[in-house]
Chain A
């Protein structure tokens, strides 16, 4: 008896509190910049694609919804020939972003991706690629790695000595 009255009081009290429910399409909730929503591919500060098709996002993905095929530019730069994310499978876990060694793949606070046709949830590289660097403004993988690409020869990367002259007699 007593517990029933207590329940009633608790419920009645709620009549006077503010509603938590939001009128969604009209009123949008705040999603922090770190919120894990739609995935995109970014470019480095020089405007080149950051993705090097290393396949680490693909292997980190717990639902196996990322497929990357590697190709190589003439200067030796690795690049994704195709980059597919099947968002109908994606669980927005962000493992891909964590795994990405070049900060190419990033999750954004955009969550409005609903479609009537499931096939439309398959995003390819042209749908994913944006023109800016996303959350990480300065990182440029090829400026750090030892592989030479156009605009960065051997020895010009971060923390590198000039190439050794093998024919020199000096020790």
Chain B
């Protein structure tokens, strides 16, 4: 053991922390010792040999294995020599990915036999590989390049002809170049086995293998973008990235947090010359693991968008012009506007900005004047969730923990669209029953083929209660489609059944569905309840909390996850919870009332497009009553167009700030690039007004003022990084090129690189390179740049399930990389939900119909909707209605209908869908937000149909066949 540590220390593999810490008894039990090339090592049990070698930092090439997908042994690249015992000199070749670890095993990586085998193998793999590297997007970021070099295959001997393939059009996200395929099967294993989608497949045999769709067309999976990283070579490449291409070594990167949905996935943002070029997954054990959804991967265009605001602008009513201001002038004007008596100034906070910015606004105006940029019912739900996490023993679990559960109940949330990565985790969770079966037979979890063979169709129970069909229904034990009233009845049954279990009373009569759900939840070791705010249904969310809470008392390991709706909305539930009576919300509906009272003089709107939430005419009227409107935003939204003063704000790529995910994980997002001079972070615009000049002080103010966000104080040290550590970390790779030419056309003299005083990163290649960072102990943040010698490709960054051996030291402990979980499970707070059961307003008039939102991950997230590639994938806006309900309303298929409530109105084409709950109608989320939960319905005259149908028939995508 001691020797092993010494060895690994010399090799620079294991971090210093682990050698200082005494091994826990549990830890040594889990270890197994083995000898590799006459060095002894100890590694964790249960892995395969390849994984063990990689986690030790040894160089062993592989293609088909993937830490998240296990081994199938198809590429034969990871061969090593295994010896019987210490006398054995001949040994035998084994595929390390298919070899379980055994105590005292002796293997060799460097012996001639296995080296020769690996070299010959890759030579065979490369016989058909085209001479494409210079014109391949994967070049310089290619697993095949890395592995070829590592296997020392440098000279092509095969003189035969290369097989070729025709390509397919696969949609706006991916390029297809089948010639480059090496037949490792990773793409189909990811697409079909991991994501459960069906439209990518493998055809043919031998060297005729073809990985693609049955015919050209858009890939249906929400995770198709990951294929660019899953493919070890350039068969699938990132299409939007190719349109503004830059080699990997030229990208300036920093660790950031995805701003779209509420899961808080970790990403790496890459920029060059002031524009974001691509987003890649940043491995986080507990959150996103190895994969992101398409929205996360491609939703960055808003940063480069031509509607970005570049100047402070002032409406000049006298001359009917818009004047550009300098930042100083703008700040003076802002101070002038804020001089009016406090009660006449109102602020609107945002769900897509950092916590710090909302807090600055809160400080400026006080809680009474601070409105949340979400509708009232959303705000109430967030309040309810926050108080549930605070008062009860419930706390949301991480996605990794979701994957460990063995029964799930999803209540009224379409997670495939509102939290896609969670749906992917749930899919992995459903495999647990099969894995358990395999484990009984002694098959390890990573033996992918064997496990799937044993499991067949065995799935862990997943029950879905929803108002329309779910894309998860293929793994669901029960997919129950009910309208909200019937759902409430079902949930009450479940809740009371669980209560009888808790009090060990005699069983009550209940519906068979409810019984099946309760039985499965009770039989499970780690049951899971998932709910969300999507439907704005207070009753159901409170029932879900009650169910989870009761279950928690029955089973200690019950998991709970409540999906919220936007990137950073959960913390808004804490901002106003203190001073207001419970459930008196401060949402946009209340704002509208306040504006209509006519007393408001100054309205400051922070990064919220009010027109997304409220009806245009109502809002126009309300805004016209306000004397001065100030908008702080990144983009010229409709709301910004109404403003008297616009202050341009930085995007998530240009500023430091915290996100709170719906899991309650507080994570810091680092700035990737420098903002232009006129753009400031929103809190910086306000900093003179609130008297807080620095980030550090603002963070400390938040931790004092908002007790639930106390943990944010951890991040106050951000600016002190420079004092604490003598080292700075480079955002650019050591290979970064064209420094003296890139701006030479404008100005041949090179400028000094911009200095970042806020954080530990430099905007240049000066500083510690990412791949050497583990050697520099005082720095515990993630490496910023993504380039490293040898194991350079993106996927190699996550080999062995750890984000490079280089940051093992930091990955376990540092809040900078892991975030801080603010809802710690509170075992003392045993029971009694701390809030009143609320009644959802349920009008009984027969002409009203319950609306349900039909979410879509490409259409719903405001910032992502600036990405052209994503919006082209968004579906047509339709209302879905059950045929029976439709006949009740005397509707025909494809008829135009008008939905109106006292909040807004909308005309939509209606589509019959028997997977829609009866007496409900589903409308796109954006309309649902504006209309509210109930609306009146009138069919429109039929002649209107032809106009709109011709309008809508213009397909956004051309299905051209590519060569």
Say yes or no for A65: interface residue by CB 8 A criterion: yes
Cβ A147 vs Cβ B210 within 8 A: no
- 9 smallest CB-CB distances across A and B, nearest first, come from A146-B130, A54-B134, A67-B738, A67-B741, A146-B179, A64-B739, A86-B744, A58-B737, A86-B741
Stretch in contact with the other chain, from B163-171, B575-583, B646-654, B680-688: B163-171
Q: Say yes or no for B740: interface residue by CB 8 A criterion.
A: yes
Q: Which of B139, B161, B242 contacts A160 (CB 8 A)?
A: B161
Complex contact A166–B131 (CB within 8 A): no
- A168 CA to B206 CA, complexed, in Å: 13
Q: How far is the CA of A111 from the CA of B165 in the complex (A)?
A: 47
7 cross-chain CB contacts under 8 A? A55-B250, A122-B745, A145-B131, A146-B177, A157-B130, A161-B162, A164-B164
Q: Tell me which residues across on chain B come within 8 A of A122, comparing CB atoms.
A: 741, 744-745, 748
Give, as a whole number of angstroms, the nearest-CB distance from B213 to chain A.
11
Chain A residues contacting B180 (CB-CB under 8 Å) are 146
B963 adjacent to A61 (CB under 8 Å)? no
Q: A88-B748, A146-B131, A171-B206 are in contact. Are A61 and B162 (CB under 8 A)?
A: no
Which one of A52, A72, A101, A147 contacts B130 once the chains associate, using CB atoms below 8 Å?
A147
Q: Give the residue of A121, A155, A166 whose beta carbon is less than 8 angstroms from that of B748.
A: A121
CB distance from A63 to the nearest CB of B (A): 6
Known: A55-B247, A55-B737. A154 touches B203 (CB 8 A): no
Distance (Å) between the CB of B170 and the closest chain A CB?
14
Q: Mark A40-72, 1 if CB is under 8 A from B, else 0.
A: 000000000000101110110101111110101
Contacts of B160 in A (CB 8 A): 159
Q: Are B249 and A146 in contact (CB under 8 A)?
A: no
Q: Do A70 and B164 touch (CB < 8 A)?
A: no
Chain B neighbourhood of A164, CB < 8 A: 163-165, 204, 208, 210
Contact B738 A68 (CB under 8 A): yes
Q: Which of B177, B212, B243, B738 has the most CB of A within 10 A?
A: B738
A162–B166 CA distance with the chains assembled, in angstroms: 10
How many Å from the CB of B914 to the closest CB on chain A? 35
Residue numbers in A under 8 Å from B134 (CB-CB):
52, 54, 56, 78, 101-102, 141, 145
Given A52-B135, A101-B134, A159-B162, A147 contacting B738 (CB threshold 8 A): no
Which B residues are CB-close (under 8 A) to A108?
A: none
Closest Cβ–Cβ distance, residue B960 to chain A (whole Å):
11
**1/0 per residue B723-744: CB within 8 Å of A?**
0000000000001111111101
How far does the alpha carbon of A67 sit from the alpha carbon of B245 in the complex, in Å? 13
Q: Is B133 an interface residue (CB 8 A)?
A: yes
Distance of A164 Cα from B162 Cα, bound (Å): 11
Chain B residues, CB < 8 A from A118: 748-749
- Nearest chain-B residue to A72 (Cβ)? B242
CB within 8 Å of B: which A100-126 residues: 101-102, 118-119, 121-122, 124
Task: Mark B residues whose CB is within 8 Å of A.
Answer: 130-136, 139-140, 160-167, 177, 179-180, 203-206, 208, 210, 212, 242-243, 245-247, 249-250, 735-742, 744-745, 747-749, 962-963
**Given contacts A59-B249, A67-B742, A145-B130, A159 and B737 within 8 Å (CB-CB):** no
Q: Once the chains bind, are A162 and B748 in contact (CB under 8 Å)?
A: no
Please give, as numbers and ranges, the residues of chain A lying within 8 Å of B243 by CB-CB distance.
Answer: 72
Chain B residue contacts of A141, Cβ below 8 A: 134
Q: Say how far A128's CB is from chain B's closest CB, in angstroms.
A: 12
Tell me, rounded to whole Å, the shortest Cβ–Cβ distance linking B434 to chain A.
Answer: 32
Alpha-carbon gap, A88 to B161, bound state (A): 46
Shortest CB-to-CB span from B725 to chain A, Å, is 27
A135 within 8 A of B: no
B166 touches A163 (CB 8 A): yes
Q: Which residues of A contact B206 (CB under 8 A)?
A: 171
A118–B249 Cα distance when bound, in Å, is: 29
Query: Is the pair B210, A65 in contact by a Cβ cutoff of 8 Å?
Result: no
Q: Which of A84, A86, A163, A166 contacts B203 (CB 8 A)?
A: A166
- Within A132-154, the residues touching B (CB, 8 Å) are 141, 144-148, 153-154
Residue interface mask A70-81, B partner, CB < 8 A = 1: 101001101000
Q: For residue B161, which residue of chain A has the nearest CB? A: A161
A interface, CB within 8 angstroms of B: 52, 54-56, 58-59, 61, 63-68, 70, 72, 75-76, 78, 82, 84-86, 88-89, 101-102, 118-119, 121-122, 124, 141, 144-148, 153-155, 157, 159-164, 166, 168, 171
Closest B residue by C-beta to A155 = B164
Contact call B744/A84, Cβ cutoff below 8 A: yes
- Decide if A84 touches B963 in the complex (CB within 8 Å): no
Shortest distance in angstroms between B37's beta carbon and chain A's nearest beta carbon?
Answer: 34
Instruction: Given A84-B744, A122-B744, A171-B205, decide whether A58 and B738 contact each other with a Cβ distance below 8 A.
Output: yes
**A166 and B210 within 8 A (CB):** yes
Could you say which residues of chain B place their CB within 8 Å of the CB of A155?
164
Picked from A56, A65, A78, A148, the residue with its CB within 8 Å of the CB of B740 is: A65
Select B245's contact among A61, A70, A86, A88, beta carbons within 8 Å. Answer: A70
Q: Which of A65, A121, A147, A161 contacts B177 (CB 8 A)?
A: A147
20 other A-B residue contacts (CB within 8 Å) besides A54-B133, A55-B250: A58-B741, A59-B735, A59-B737, A64-B737, A64-B739, A66-B738, A86-B741, A101-B134, A119-B747, A119-B748, A145-B131, A145-B132, A146-B164, A147-B130, A147-B179, A159-B161, A164-B204, A166-B204, A171-B205, A171-B206
**Contact (Cβ within 8 A) B745 A85:** no
Complex Cα–Cα for A129 and B249 (A): 26
Residues of B within 8 A of A159 (CB): 160-162
- Write the nearest CB–CB distance from A69 to chain B, whole angstroms: 8
The residue on B at minimum CB distance from A146 is B130
CB neighbours of B246 from chain A (8 A): 55, 70
Question: Which residue of chain A lies nearest to B747 when distances are taken between CB atoms in the complex?
Answer: A119
Q: Please, which residues of chain B bring their CB within 8 A of the CB of A54?
A: 133-135, 139
Bound: A145/B136 CA distance, A: 10
Are B130 and A89 in touch, CB under 8 angstroms? no
Contact check, A161 vs B163: say whether CB atoms are below 8 A apart.
yes
Structural contact, A84 and B741, CB atoms closer than 8 A: yes
Considering residues B134, B139, B204, B748, which has the most beta carbons from chain A within 10 angstroms of its beta carbon?
A: B134
Are A86 and B748 in contact, CB atoms less than 8 angstroms apart?
yes
Complex CA distance for A122 and B743, rounded to whole angstroms: 10
Nearest B residue to A64 via CB reads: B739
Chain A residues near B165: list those with CB within 8 A. 154, 163-164, 166
Query: Judging by beta carbons under 8 Å apart, are A67 and B166 in contact?
Result: no
Closest Cβ–Cβ distance, residue A103 to chain B (whole Å) = 11
Asked whether, in the complex, the Cβ of A160 is within 8 Å of the Cβ of B162, the reply is yes
CA distance A154 to B164 in the complex (A): 7
- How many whole Å from A114's CB to the nearest CB in chain B? 15
Question: A72 — which chain B residues lie within 8 A by C-beta?
Answer: 242-243
Q: How far is the CB of B199 from chain A (nearest CB, A)?
A: 15
Q: How far is the CB of B609 from chain A (nearest CB, A)?
A: 33
Question: In the complex, which residues of chain B have a beta carbon less than 8 angstroms from the beta carbon of A52?
Answer: 134-135
Give the CA-CA distance A61 to B247 in the complex, in Å. Answer: 15
Whole-angstrom distance from the CB of A72 to the nearest CB of chain B?
7
Docked-complex contact B166 and A86, CB < 8 angstroms = no
Q: How far is the CA of A89 from the CA of B139 in the complex (A)?
A: 27
Tell me, rounded to whole Å, the shortest Cβ–Cβ distance linking B224 to chain A.
20
**A147 engages B741 (CB within 8 Å):** no
Which interface residue of B180, B962, B963 has the most chain A CB atoms within 10 A? B963
Given the known inter-chain contacts A102-B134, A119-B748, A122-B745, please indicate yes or no for A166 contacting B208, CB distance below 8 A: yes
CA distance A161 to B163 in the complex (A): 5
Contact A76 B131 (CB under 8 A): no
What residues of chain A lie closer than 8 Å to B162, measured between beta carbons? 146, 159-161
Provide the residues of chain A in CB contact with B742, threshold 8 Å.
Answer: 67, 84
Q: Does the CB pair A161–B164 fall under 8 Å?
A: yes
Query: Nearest-CB distance from A123 to chain B (Å)?
Result: 9
Contact (Cβ within 8 A) B250 A89: no
Residues of A contacting B739 with CB < 8 Å?
64
Instruction: Tell me the complex Cα distance, A159–B159, Å.
Output: 8
CB distance from A58 to the nearest CB of B (A): 4
Given contacts A67-B744, A164-B204, A166-B203, contact A147 B737 (CB under 8 A): no
Could you tell me if A76 and B963 are in contact, using CB atoms closer than 8 angstroms?
A: yes
Cβ-defined contact, A154 with B166, below 8 A: yes
